[in-house]
């Protein structure tokens, strides 16, 4: 997974008045919208959060839901190093409810120490899927 580290990509986020962020883009965010559009962002960690917020805000409102729903979370898989207590990889899934419109987002997070990978996949209520990837060392 090494190599191709010669060129540094700068964060693509543009703030108000088109000022550009000067940070190194450590995260790649791919968004597959329900209508088949796709966006790819090369972005710094701070603005990765902004991309997520922006995507969520751009979605249509969710259908009304019933039931007393609580955030759920579960650990799917975990891999430990041989003869050590160090955790090598971990996959967690869960869902989170938006405080803005009450919609649910399914979330899967992968941290892979062996391969230096951090990945987060968010599936929104309308089918939009956002995938965020980074090197683990850039995310922790």
Answer whether 1's CB lies under 8 Å from 115's CB: yes
**Per CB under 5 A, 29 contacts Zn ion:** no
For position 134 contacting Zn ion by CB under 5 A, the verdict is no
Q: How many CB atoms lie within 10 A of CB 25?
A: 22
Among 29, 31, 41, 44, binds Zn ion (CB under 5 A): 44
Tokens read off for 66: 């019933």
CA distance 93 to 71: 11
Choose which of 13, 41, 118, 124 interacts with Zn ion (CB under 5 A): 13
**Cβ closer to Zn ion: 41 or 124?**
41
Write down the least CB distance from residue 52 to Zn ion, Å: 13
- Is residue 50 involved in binding Zn ion (CB under 5 A)? no
d(Cα 39, Cα 94) in Å, to the nearest integer? Answer: 24
């Amino acid at each position: 997974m090494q190599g191709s580290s010669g060129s540094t990509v700068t964060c693509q986020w543009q703030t108000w008045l088109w000022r550009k962020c000067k940070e190194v883009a450590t995260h790649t965010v791919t968004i597959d919208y329900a209508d088949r559009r796709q966006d790819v962002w090369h972005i710094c960690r701070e603005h990765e959060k902004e991309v997520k917020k922006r995507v969520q805000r751009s979605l249509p409102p969710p259908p009304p839901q019933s039931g007393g729903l609580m955030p759920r979370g579960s650990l799917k898989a975990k891999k430990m190093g041989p003869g050590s207590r160090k955790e090598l990889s971990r996959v967690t899934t869960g869902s989170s409810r938006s405080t803005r419109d009450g919609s649910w987002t399914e979330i899967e997070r992968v941290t892979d120490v062996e391969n230096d990978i951090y990945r987060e996949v968010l599936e929104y209520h309308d089918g939009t899927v956002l995938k965020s990837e980074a090197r683990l060392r850039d995310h922790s």
